[in-house]
């Protein structure tokens, strides 16, 4: 069976290399931040965002115990404020929408009001031959709405500037899926 996380990483690795700048726009427990950090190595940089202090603490601990590089900036702010912190082009970005994995508070999720502006800004700072991955979780009401809004927006992007794909398991409609945005 297809493992979505492995598939996402293979797409990222086709664009991201040592020395690049990238971002984890929803750091959660730090798994993607760690993956990005280890990929860009000591001369690259990762910006990681989350609004929950617990996410920052969990990510910091993961990076300190499992990471190999001190090449990251952990930001306690919403991803829709990304341009306050990132003033350069990025080669890769990741959004993992929904709620903090392992959290008891499933009501605290990413929201359409901030997700769509954050995605637009992330695409704006995406470098040539860059990639943005957006994982959507339609199994809860906000996730379903976020996915529909993102699809409506992403369909409007000029295909000569960016290739936008959607990977979804078609016989499991509430399973997570992801968008792949590759800048030409």
Q: With H, G, I as helix, E, B as strand and everything else as coil, classify residue 146.
A: helix
What strand order describes the sheet that includes 126-136?
72-76, 45-50, 21-24, 90-96, 126-136, 177-183, 162-167
Cα distance between residue 43 and residue 158, in whole Å: 33
The answer to whether 17 and 38 have CB atoms below 8 angstroms apart is no
Cα distance between residue 56 and residue 11, in whole Å: 26
The answer to whether 155 and 143 have CB atoms below 8 angstroms apart is no
| N-terminal to C-terminal alpha carbon distance within the chain | 30
Cα distance between residue 141 and residue 13, in whole Å: 32
The pLDDT value given to residue 99: 55
Q: Give residue for tokens 């493992």.
A: 3
The total number of structural domains that make up the chain: 1
Q: What is the mean pLDDT of each run of 10 residues along the chain (184 residues)?
A: 82 97 95 97 97 93 95 97 98 84 61 88 98 89 87 97 94 89 96
Domain containing 62 equals 4-183
**CATH code, domain carrying 176:** 3.40.50.150
């Amino acid at each position: 069976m297809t493992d979505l996380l492995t598939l996402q990483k293979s797409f990222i690795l086709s664009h991201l290399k040592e020395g690049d700048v990238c971002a984890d726009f929803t750091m959660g427990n730090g798994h993607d931040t760690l993956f990005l950090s280890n990929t860009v190595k000591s001369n690259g940089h990762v910006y990681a965002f989350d609004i929950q202090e617990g996410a920052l603490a969990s990510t910091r601990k993961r990076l300190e115990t499992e990471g190999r590089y001190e090449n990251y900036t952990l930001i306690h702010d919403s991803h829709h404020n990304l341009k306050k912190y990132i003033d350069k082009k990025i080669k890769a970005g990741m959004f993992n929408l929904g709620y903090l994995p392992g959290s008891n508070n499933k009501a605290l999720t990413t929201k359409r009001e901030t997700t769509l502006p954050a995605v637009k800004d992330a695409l704006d700072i995406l470098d040539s031959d860059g990639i943005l991955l957006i994982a959507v979780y339609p199994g809860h009401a906000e996730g379903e709405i976020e996915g529909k809004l993102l699809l409506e927006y992403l369909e409007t992007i000029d295909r000569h500037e960016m290739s936008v794909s959607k990977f979804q398991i078609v016989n499991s409609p509430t399973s997570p899926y992801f968008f792949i945005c590759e800048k030409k």
